[in-house]
Amino acid sequence: MPAVVLIGAQWGDEGKGKATDLLGSRVDYVVKFNGGNNAGHTVVIGDKKYALHLLPSGILSDGVVPVIANGVVVDIEVLFNELDALSARGVDVSRLLVSANAHVITHYHRTIDKVTERFLGKRQIGTTGRGIGPTYADKINRVGIRVQDIFDEGILRQKVEGALDQKNHLLLKVYNRRAISPEEIVDDLLSYADRLRPMVADTSLVLNRALDEGQTVLFEGGQATMLDVDHGTYPFVTSSNATSGGAATGSGVAPNRFDRVIAVVKAYTTRVGAGPFPTELHDESGEWLRGRGFEFGTTTGRPRRTGWYDAPIARYSARINGVTDFVLTKLDVLTGLERIPVAVAYDVDGMRVDEVPVSQSDFHHAKPIYEELPGWSEDISGAREFDDLPRAARDYVLALEEMSGSRFSAIGVGPARDEIVVRHDLLD
């Protein structure tokens, strides 16, 4: 089973970090292929808790080669800080590879991210403010700075000057901010060159060779399907392809090499930032889920919006990503509920709709049609086999599996590494 993609099925924070960690010891490479330090993955190993943003979660597994591929946007200062923090805790980070083609987040991207959000006022997206959108915009506009540019001072200067020419007009005249000096940016980027150089590689070549030799490569998505720039709730999305297709374009590994697509899905739903969310709860049940599930952002600390499981979204994810296996997480959070509502379809202006509507306006109006499933009260965190779960918890999983369009191969029953029930081997 050489090439495996792991992505989020909802709006992020499904527990992708933990799922990657679960597979970590059995894979040779873990590749981040989209997004940047907007991601926040919490991984709990024994009594240690790690929060990863830019680095793939696989960096925590001994012997794995972590790769930041071409589809990622890299804030180099953040990269070095994260590496230093992990090193200080005894994690070996020496094998990290960074694509020469990855784009670089600079000071002006972060500034523009924040000022555009402020300018949008009530229409703001609620970005993480890390410069993600503006960096991808420059990539598409062909005025981006790539990792390889840092090693050619003449080119770097030319590109930064070109990019700032237009941006400084915008900053000064539209946003009423001070202009940014190209010198300042160039000097900053050049100061990273010596430390960065040994990590930089043709990561597409490295990964394809590894696959040729029969090694196992895990492609770890940041964000999630409903935040994907093409398939998510646009414009309330991130600026990259967080779906499985992004693993190919974001790494230079062709689609016909992928063997399996694992989607991580929470037993309920959360969302950070603005945008439609049909099953969102504004009552004490929502508060209860937030408190029980510790639903506060790993990156920004913002309280996450919470709601019930949405089966049309899981089905949509199964379709868009070609999901072969779901990992259901945080089932333990639901313990203690008498009845658990699950959205099976939507009511859109009086019509029953079974799939995620293609029209954003319809999705904004969609009211969930719920089915209520019986809950359980037993502590399930010690379950390791499916049969260890109480009957109602098993039935909840089976009902969700039936509605969601692919098999549920593993079930999270707690944050720790071993708090998981595996029904089907994810790499076999």
Q: Which does 329 bind (CB under 5 to 8 A by kind): ligand GDP, Mg ion, ligand IMO, none?
A: ligand GDP
Distance in angstroms (rounded) separating the CA atoms of residues 103 and 139: 7
Residue 109 annotated among the catalytic residues of the structure: no
**Among 24, 56, 133, 286, contact with ligand IMO (rule: CB under 6 A):** 133
Question: What is the pairing mode between strands 309-310 and 217-220?
Answer: unpaired
Active-site pick, 28, 41, 53, 109? 41
Shortest approach of Mg ion to residue 323 CB, angstroms? 19
Q: What residues pair up with 418 in beta bridges, in sequence order?
A: none
Beta carbon of residue 167, minimum distance to ligand GDP (angstroms, whole number): 31
Q: Is the peptide bond before 66 cis (omega within 30 degrees of 0)?
A: no
Binds ligand IMO (CB under 6 A): choice among 2, 3, 8, 343: 8
Q: Is 362 a catalytic residue?
A: no
- For residue 223, the partner it binds in Mg ion, ligand GDP, ligand IMO, none, with Cβ less than 5 to 8 A by kind, is ligand IMO
| Stretch 18-47: interaction string toward ligand IMO, x if CB under 6 A | --------------------xxxx------
Nearer to ligand GDP among residue 79 and residue 380 (C-beta):
380
Q: Nearer Cβ to ligand IMO, position 295 or 325?
A: 295
**Judged by CB under 6 A, which stretch of 10-18, 85-93, 95-103, 159-167 contacts ligand IMO?**
10-18
In this structure, the number of other CB atoms found within 10 A of the CB of residue 279 comes to 24
Instruction: Examine residue 127 and tell whether it contacts ligand IMO (CB under 6 A).
Output: yes
Identify the residue among 8, 13, 138, 242 touching Mg ion (CB under 5 A): 13
With CB under 5 to 8 Å by kind, the binding choice for 149 among Mg ion, ligand GDP, ligand IMO, none is none
Which of the listed partners (ligand GDP, Mg ion, ligand IMO, none) does 273 bind, with a CB threshold of 5 to 8 Å by partner kind?
ligand IMO
Window 257-276: contact mask with ligand IMO (x via CB under 6 A): ---------------xx---
CB of residue 424 to ligand IMO, shortest distance in Å: 24
Residues annotated as part of the active site: 13, 41
